[in-house]
Structure formats: C-alpha cells, structure tokens
Amino acid sequence: MAGPTLRVLDSLDAVARTAAQWVHDRAWAAANARGRFTLALSGGNTPRALYRRMADGPRLPWDRTVFCFGDERNVPPDSPDSNARMAREALTGQPFVNQSSVYRIKGELPAEEAAADYEKTLRTLFPGTTTFPGFDLVLLGLGPDGHTASLFPHSAALVDRTRWVAANWVEKFRTHRITLTFPVLNAAAEVLFLVVGEDKAWALKEVLKGTAPVAEIPARGIVPTSGKVTFLVDRAAAAGLST
C-alpha cells in the first residue's frame, strides 16, 4: 500500500474548504455506488470549521449519509466538551440532516457501558461484518502529543485488536475517553487527517518522518489495510517537515 499523501495549504480556512470538497466528492461517489455514505466524525476546532463549510457548501446526499463518531469524551451530550454537541451545533443539527442517521456515542453512560453500546450500534449499522466495519471516510485530528481519536500515548486501547470501540483511560486527563480502535480506523476506505497550527508541527513531523513506536506516537498506527490516508495541513503545522 502506498504511503500517506500530504497536502500543505495556507490556512485553516483553506484546509476546511479543501476538506469540504473532499467529503463532498466521496459522499456522492459512495452514495451513488452503494446507496449510502458512512462517515466517522472527529472533534476539535479544525473539524468544526469543516462542518460549517459542509453545512453551507454544495449539497451532500444528506438522506443517504450516515454520521458516526471516532471518539467522545465521557460527558453528557450537552457538555461544552462533547464532540457530539460541537458537531450538532456546526452540522448534524441542521434541518436538512436526518437525525435518525446520526449515531452519537453516549458519553453520559459509564465509559465501558458507552463503548459496548456504541459497538452494538456499529454492528447494527454494518450487519454481516465478520472482521471490522469499513467506513467510507474517517476524519481524524492530531494532538500535539501525537494522539489521534482518543488513542493517547501509552494508553491501553493502543494494543486492542478485537474490540471495535474501547473505553480508554487517559492518564494525563484522569478520565476515560470512548474511542474507535485501530482495527476499525484502519478498515476505512479513506482516512483524512486535518492538522492545523504550529503546536502540531512536532507531532506531524514525528508521524510522517519519525521512527518512534506507536506507543509513543499513536497516530503512526493509522495504516489502513487497503485504504488511503491523506493529510491536509496548514503551513504552520508543516513547518517542521523541512527540517
């Protein structure tokens, strides 16, 4: 499989605009080919800008789009920290989105229960799957420490190869996060990383050029089994790649 594709753009706005077109093209291709488009959403400021672009931009096949989440904090859906709330305010709460096709992680439940509940939901959405579900597109961010989704350095879920969804204890925050596991993320047809800001420069360089193990830089574990990985980044995040 070919390595990741890197596109360096001028700004957050340029990343969001390019990503919105990216999602648009893949959504229509999947909906026309298979009758639906399955998308795993990410949290964070950069995805928020993308979601607003998606809501305002060219029409997507909203009636055939299935919205899921790559991870969630262990908080209620009305919490300011909730990925579902952010996505709802920017995109999924729009009147043109079919609410019955938005599948959030129930972060208000105890973490293990929330993970088990979401895995059950995914198994219903991907019936007959004998290995792991194949999303059409997974959106991911990159933390300054190299984490992606809620797969943090030296956390237990990094070595999980059987579950679809894990309740992952994150020591630095002293809390659980609920996250899709590597096998699920790597089963996607496409993975799109959105990386913006100078505080991501070290992590991006480590992911693309480094040799550290996945335990230290979890985003290095995103290596789809047969899909593609693309990084859309701004110039600030890409600054370390030339050194």
Residue 135: both structure tokens together:
């999303």
Beta-bridge mates of residue 165: 180
Collapsing DSSP to helix, strand or coil, 23 comes out as helix
Residues 6+ apart with CB under 8 A from 164: 118, 119, 122, 123, 132, 133, 180, 181, 183, 184
Per-residue pLDDT of 158-211, as tens digits, reads 999 999 999 999 999 999 999 999 999 999 999 999 999 999 999 999 999 999
Per-residue pLDDT of 24-39, as tens digits, reads 999 999 999 999 999 9
User: Which string of DSSP letters, residue by residue, matches 143-187?
Assistant: -TTS-BTTB-TT-GGGG--S-SEEEEEETTTTEEEEEE-HHHHTT
Is the pTM above the cut of 0.95? yes
Given CA atoms 106, 229, 153, 240 in this order, what sign does their dihedral have? negative
DSSP 59: P
pLDDT above 60: residue 107: yes
Report, as an integer, the average pLDDT of 40-44.
Answer: 95
Residue 70: both structure tokens together:
């790559």
Residue 86, CB-side half-sphere exposure with 13 Å CA sphere: 20
Domains and CATH numbers, the chain: 5-242 (3.40.50.1360)
